Structures are given as structure tokens and as C-alpha cells.
Amino acid sequence: MDNAREHRRQAKRRLRARILAVRDGLPEAARAAASRRICAAVAALDVWRDAETVMLYAAFGSEVNVDALVAWAWRANKKVLLPRVEKAERRIRPYRVDGWDVLVPGTYGIREPDPARCAPWTGPIDAVIVPGVAFDGRGGRMGYGAGYYDRFLTGPADGAVRVAVAFSCQVVDALPLEPHDAPMHWLVTEDGAFRLPASTFAVQSRAGAIG
């Protein structure tokens, strides 16, 4: 491995640990309030409203909680997908879900679709709500290090609009990116929605009511 690549990986590990510590330290009430604003801001985006098939995620730990957005998508009669981690294959597979009752604890303790109660989705995906550890204004995303979303977004979900969601404390000036890192198209925080890449974070959509 060349020195430059190893340096980027070390920098990513240090930054990942620092951002996660800050995010984990946010008060629960503050995370809940910010998550509600983020969900409302995503729901106001045209790229979300126009999407027929959307993939979200079931929040784990201190991640942005998008359960309200999942419920809104169901009410809007969208096809809602949630990921299931297939660790042996090093991939995530989307399943169509129509209610919370089909989720079970899966890999890493994350709520995942029960394959005995819902079917995998093999059709096109219009928009993906993407979690992560850190993001920047160039569209950069840093995940947890396993590369699941990078492979999914450039494979089965290639062509979908990528909407990253994060708390403002997760946004940095510039990430140490690598060629395999899939860029984001939008970044939504509690401060608003930003079209990427952005030289400055000019707000494109303010949070409003979901529904």
C-alpha cells in the first residue's frame, strides 16, 4: 500500500472516531428535535416528492432518526425499501417493507427486514436516504468503514438520487476521500437542505411540516 493511501486511511479513522464521539455526546432530546427537522426538510425536496421508490434506513445508535420520514412515505403510497446487511457477501440488499412489524434485530443489532416476511427489491430505486459519519460540501461521505453503501450506491442503486442526512456537527470542511467513495447529491441537516457540490452551504429548502 502506498504512503498517500495509508495516510488517508489513518486520517479517516481519526476523523471517524472524533465525529462519532461528538455525535454520541449530543443530548437525546436535541437529537430527536434535529431529526424531526431533517425529516421535514427531506420531505420538502422535489427529488423526494417526485420519487416513487425510496430507500431509507432504520436508525442505529446516535444516527439521525428517519422513522418519521418512513411513515410519511408509507402515507404517500411510495414503495419503501429498507436495507438488510449480508455480511458474508459484504453488501446490503434492499427489501420492500410495508410496516414496522416486519423488522427484526439483524447484523450489528440494527433493525432489518425479516426475509421470511418481505421480499427483496430488484427494481429501480429513485432516491436513497443515506446515513454516515461525516460529510462535506463537495458531496463527500465517510461511513463506518466497511464500504457497504459505496458498493450499493454504485451498483444496485446506481442512478438513484443520493440524499445524505446528518446533524450539523457531522459536517466538515473537507474529507480525505478515496476513488471508491460514492458522492452525495444532497446533504440535509437540521439547518436545511444543500445541493452538492456546494462552494458555500446556501440553503435550498427550509424545514416544513411533514405530510
* Residues that constitute the known binding site for ATP: 12-16, 141-149
Q: Are 195 and 164 in contact (CB under 8 A)?
A: no
Which residue's entry shows cell 457477501? 89
Residue numbering of the annotated binding site for substrate: 63
Number of Cβ within a 10 Å radius of residue 79: 19
To the nearest 10 degrees (0 to 180), the angle between helices 28-43 and 67-75 is 30
Alpha-helical segments (H) within the chain: 3-24, 28-43, 46-49, 67-75, 148-153
Please give the Cα distance from 131 to 66 (Å, whole number). 10
CA 25 centroid distance within chain: 20
Residue numbering of the annotated binding site: 12-16, 63, 141-149
